[in-house]
């Protein structure tokens, strides 16, 4: 059974780049024709879908964040990465990774999430 775990700095300064990693266990990314998603939840707000990537490195980003987002996949490490540039306080959120097979547009499983605070 797949398990996902996010990791990365809990504090990022304004204007800098947020960088997170999602480590996949219980299976190899290379063996799944899945989409690997990043989702975030700002304090007191609902979830926001950031985008996704597949094992070939094909990406789809939310247009609202597209200019600042970069996702990548490292199949040798079984990891996904998220970079969000030029962060502001509005990017303070719990960041989750999740996954879903093509055409099944529901997320299962999710990682536990990691809180990133943007502050000087």
Site for another protein in 27-66 (CB under 8 A): 45-49, 51, 60, 62-64
Candidates 25-33, 69-77, 85-93, 104-112 — which segment interacts with another protein by CB under 8 A? 104-112
Side-chain-side CA neighbours of 100 within 13 Å: the count stands at 12
Nearer to another protein, 32 or 107 (CB): 107
Is 93 an interacting residue with respect to another protein (CB under 8 A)?
no
Beta carbon of residue 106, minimum distance to another protein (angstroms, whole number): 4
Is 117 an interacting residue with respect to another protein (CB under 8 A)?
no
Contact residues for another protein (CB under 8 A)? 45-49, 51, 60, 62-64, 96, 98, 104-113
């Amino acid at each position: 059974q797949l398990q996902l775990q996010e990791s990365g700095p809990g504090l990022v300064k304004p204007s800098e780049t947020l960088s997170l990693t999602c480590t996949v266990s219980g299976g190899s990314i290379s063996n799944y024709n899945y989409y690997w998603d990043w989702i975030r939840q700002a304090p007191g707000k609902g979830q926001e879908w950031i985008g996704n990537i597949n094992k070939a490195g094909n990406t789809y980003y939310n247009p609202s964040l597209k200019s600042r987002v970069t996702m990548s996949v490292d199949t040798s490490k079984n990891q996904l990465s998220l970079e969000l540039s030029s962060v502001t306080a509005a990017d303070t959120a719990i960041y989750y990774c999740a996954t879903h097979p093509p055409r099944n547009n529901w997320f299962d499983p999710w990682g536990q999430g990691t809180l990133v605070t943007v502050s000087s």
